[in-house]
Amino acid sequence: MAYLTRFRGMKRSKILIPLHLVWTTKHREPWITSDIERQVHRVIVAEATKQKARVTAINSMPDHVHLAVMFPATISVAVFMKQVKGASSALLRAELCHGQMRHWQEGYGAFAFQIGLMSRVVAYIKNQKEHHGDETTWPSLETTTEEVAPPGGRSARSVTSEEFSTPRTNLPA
């Protein structure tokens, strides 16, 4: 009975799901330059926060973005991505690209992971440039559902939870 009494005061659910999100520029055009990268990240983080997600990491390459969030149960992933991509597209068109049309590719990758792996996911995202520079990326975390294979001809594959939790040189512990 003491067990039931303890939870009677719980008025609402608390659900935060760790997600690693990846999306690309249209046709993988390399327009996320160092000149605009920080501003693009700021608007993405602001919109994600507005949607009640807690951002734990963001980074990008010239042709794609990685975002790790604690995702709320109050919005679908599809609506969240529409809002984040839409807000950043508006900024790009209005301020950063001087009227040049810049678009995101349709689709995205969304990968749920164990909360205990948060520090490893954050490290992977923060070290994107190094991973791409020395070709130590994990292909399945670099592609979206619309792509057949990542650039460079490597074929995509799934990363098992055992692989992800095993220390490797390209994913610091």
Burial of 63 (0-12, 13-18, 19+ CB in 10 A): middle
Q: Which helix (H) or strand (E) holds 19?
A: strand 16-24
Residue 152 per-residue DSSP state: T
Residues 130-145: tens digit of each pLDDT = 755 566 555 555 655 5
Predicted TM-score of the model (pTM): 0.73
- Which amino acid, residue 27? H
- Helix-helix angle 77-91:37-50, to 10 degrees: 140
The pLDDT value recorded for residue 99 is 55
Three-state secondary-structure class, residue 59? strand
The pLDDT value recorded for residue 122 is 93
Token code pair at residue 63: 């042709």
Domains and CATH numbers, the chain: 13-165 (3.30.70.1290)
